[in-house]
Amino acid sequence: MTTAPTRRFWSPFFWAPLWLVLAAGLFGGIPTLAADAPAVDRLVGTRVGDFRLTNVVTGDETWFYGLAMGNRVFGQLLGMRQVKAAVLVFVSPGCPLGDKYLPRLAELAKAYEAKGVLFFGVASGAGETAEELKAWATEQQVAIPILHDVGNKLADAVMVERSNEAILVDLRGTMRYRGAIDDQYGYDVSLPEPRHTWLVDAIDAVLDGNPKRIDPRATPVQGCRLTKVAPEKSKLADLERVRPTSSVIAAWLDEHDPAPPIDGLVTWTGDVAGILQAKCQSCHRPGQVGGFSLLSYDDAYAHSAMLGEVVENRRMPPWHADPRHGHFANVRRLSAADRATLLKWVADGAPRGEGEEPAPRTFPEGWTIGTPDLVFEIPEPTTIPAQGTMPYVNISVPTNFTEDMWVQAAEAVPGDHGIVHHIIVYVDAPGQPRGRGPDGFGHLCGYAPGDMPSVYPEGTAKRIPAGSTLRFQIHYTPNGRATTDRSKVGLILAKEPPKREALTVGIANPRFLIPAGASAHPVQSEVPVKRPTRLLSFMPHMHLRGKAFRYTLEQPGRDAEILLDVPAFDFGWQSYYTLAESRDLEPGSRIVCDALFDNSSANLANPDPTKDVLWGEQTWEEMMIGYIDVDFPRDDAGSDAD
């Protein structure tokens, strides 16, 4: 990152991938944070999210992730400084303890400048204007840049509550130390010299390439409590969880699957309970993503008006595949008769009816795949700040498997649905490269808003090699409250060694630019078929600007065939589409994915229609991945009989 006038600053989206490559996968242990007593070492070992803050004296913008550009060959050719670490010290003008440390910070910044360590002061207090901060910095002759953290977004993101707290970040963006600068000044102490130089010791350890020797990793801070404004409302707070089906699909269904007449009285006991059990209760029950329960008559009656609305506009049950292409085993769409029955029940006042209702449907606690044989949970709670940007968190959990295990079904479950954007669980096998993101290799299962367990047909399973670890890659989206999360994954094991091995492949294109204002910008990706393979399922993935997604099979000498078409992609509900019958793919074929993105103001979920958009981790950036599940004959199947 360079500190440069905004008018001459390069686009952050061009440079962000360089930093993401540099920073990927380098996380330490995740500390526990109690709501009433934040852990001293909170977030130490995790990557600090990107930010852009203005220098109150010069008016220049500092782009945090851009500091790494000087470490790249191109940056060196431009004469940009190399950066080995950055120190963020939170300041509060007028705080007596803070003012005492200003000369110390000037000394440290000068001493470490040639070694590639940059110092920044961060002002996060509510009511502090840029003009007031500039006047204070000028009067105090502050020797380090003072950055204005408007709305205390950065302070919340790194969970800072007091001035004088220093945060040391290494060249990979990982927080290595947080806490006091030293122990010379305190509430009731003023020493001639410090007895402990914690920040200096930590900086030296990072520069020596040995951050593990930093001890302690964090220290309590004595400074002035920062006055803060309430965290901003989440960008996703007002986004409809599930969007209605496309008008094209609705019109086709009305013509080809019209609603039959429903005669007589429709009741809960005689008609409705069974439909809701089959189509709704897997999500609409306590602890699940549905938001409210539909297990009982009282539940359904209380929400009957809303139920009628979402059934009428085909928003529920969520299913976005065009019925003209493909046949799917897990289709959630209501039949015309069931839809007409529910709508008449609501129109008639939602009567209970006479007699006994059907026996209640039972569900395994917390799971949709059934009761798992094995459950792996993140060992310690992950701390989630109230606001700010959180880079992906990677946490490895050992399986302790002494032999290869075969997984028939796998499901990732968030500890807190409100702050988990998605989870991908990778298998990191001994001696093998770690599973990578877009291509899907090493992918065990995932979670996103919607229905995403991985379930394989009889005779097919995914392999977890002996000695593997499961790596949870989790994208958290702070929603205005500090909290913790312990996500988990459940596995159902194959009852006998399978004949075929399953694999998840991501057909991705990360090289795109979606122009500002574009209403239907196309992006395409493809993958060739190089060996006899069987296609099992699909899962398209985009972010808030995703509009439509299509998979097409192209085979030599044949017409192209649409395998799945999702004309109204729904970020709020990203479904797996499991084929009713698996499809054989011949070598020489290829699967082509075509996506459309809506970056216009007509897209109500668009974070900013005035910005060009590139590939990125965060929800307001974009991704284009067409996941598929395939299987193929095991090369070692005969060895199971030995």
Q: What residue spans of 335-411 are helical by DSSP H?
A: 336-347
Q: Dig out the tokens for 369 from the structure.
A: 């795949």
Do 26 and 175 belong together in one domain? yes
- How far CA 601 is from CA of 38, 280, 605, 616, in Å, comes to 41, 33, 9, 21
pLDDT value for 144: 96
pLDDT value for 248: 84
pLDDT value for 286: 82
Do 504 and 636 belong together in one domain? yes
The answer to whether the beta carbons of residues 378 and 397 sit under 8 Å apart is yes
- Mean local confidence (pLDDT), 296-315: 92
**DSSP string for residues in 586-604:** -TT-EEEEEEEE--STT-T
> What CATH number does residue 474 fall under?
2.60.120.310
Cα dihedral 604→607→608→609 (10° resolution): -40
- Mean local confidence (pLDDT), 32-39: 48
At residue 392 the predicted structure's pLDDT band, cuts being 50, 70 and 90, is confident
Q: Which amino acid is at 12?
A: P
Do 271 and 382 belong together in one domain? no
Do 169 and 40 belong together in one domain? yes
pLDDT at 133 over 60: yes
Beta bridge partners of 374: 491
Do 308 and 394 belong together in one domain? no
Domain end, chosen from 497, 518, 549, is at: 497
Q: Kindly state whether residue 357 falls inside one of the protein's structural domains.
A: no
pLDDT at 92 over 50: yes
Do 36 and 171 belong together in one domain? yes
Mind listing the pLDDT tens digit for each residue in 419-433?
888 899 999 998 876
Q: Kindly state whether residue 103 falls inside one of the protein's structural domains.
A: yes
pLDDT value for 486: 94
Q: Kindly state whether residue 508 falls inside one of the protein's structural domains.
A: yes
Least confident of 131-145, 188-202, 275-289, 499-513: 275-289
Q: Kindly state whether residue 315 falls inside one of the protein's structural domains.
A: yes
Do 605 and 538 belong together in one domain? yes
Q: Kindly state whether residue 45 falls inside one of the protein's structural domains.
A: yes
pLDDT value for 480: 77
pLDDT at 28 over 50: no
Q: Dig out the tokens for 405 from the structure.
A: 């295990």
Domain end, chosen from 295, 314, 347, is at: 347
More confident residue, 365 or 642: 365
Do 61 and 205 belong together in one domain? yes
Instruction: List the domain range (segments joined by +) for residue 505.
Output: 499-642
Q: How far apart are CA 544 and CA 449, in angstroms?
A: 12
Peptide bond into 216 cis (omega under 30): yes
The residue among 330, 353, 318, 337 whose CA lies nearest residue 573 is 318
More confident residue, 23 or 81: 81
Do 428 and 370 belong together in one domain? yes
pLDDT value for 364: 75
- How far CA 368 is from CA of 144, 485, 492, in Å, comes to 54, 20, 12
Q: 10 Å Cβ neighbour count for 460?
A: 23
pTM for this structure?
0.71
Q: How many domains does the chain have?
A: 4
- Mean local confidence (pLDDT), 331-353: 94
Q: Kindly state whether residue 567 falls inside one of the protein's structural domains.
A: yes
Beta bridge partners of 396: 471
pLDDT value for 2: 35
- Mean local confidence (pLDDT), 530-555: 95
Phi, psi of 490, deg, nearest 5: -110, 140
Do 324 and 370 belong together in one domain? no
Which three-class secondary structure state does DSSP give residue 20? Answer: helix
> What CATH number does residue 22 fall under?
3.40.30.10
The answer to whether the beta carbons of residues 226 and 92 sit under 8 Å apart is yes
Domain end, chosen from 449, 475, 497, is at: 497
Q: How far is CA 81 from the centre of its chain?
A: 32
Mind listing the pLDDT tens digit for each residue in 555-569?
999 999 999 999 999
Helix or strand (DSSP H, E) at 430: none
Do 288 and 411 belong together in one domain? no
Q: Kindly state whether residue 354 falls inside one of the protein's structural domains.
A: no
Helix or strand (DSSP H, E) at 169: strand 166-170
Q: Kindly state whether residue 251 falls inside one of the protein's structural domains.
A: yes
At residue 451 the predicted structure's pLDDT band, cuts being 50, 70 and 90, is low
Mind listing the pLDDT tens digit for each residue in 227-279?
999 887 665 555 555 677 788 888 888 888 899 999 999 999 999 999 999 99
User: Taking the CA of residue 201 as centre, how many other CA atoms within 13 Å lie in the half-sphere pointing to its CB?
Assistant: 19
pLDDT at 630 over 80: yes
Do 36 and 132 belong together in one domain? yes
At residue 31 the predicted structure's pLDDT band, cuts being 50, 70 and 90, is very low
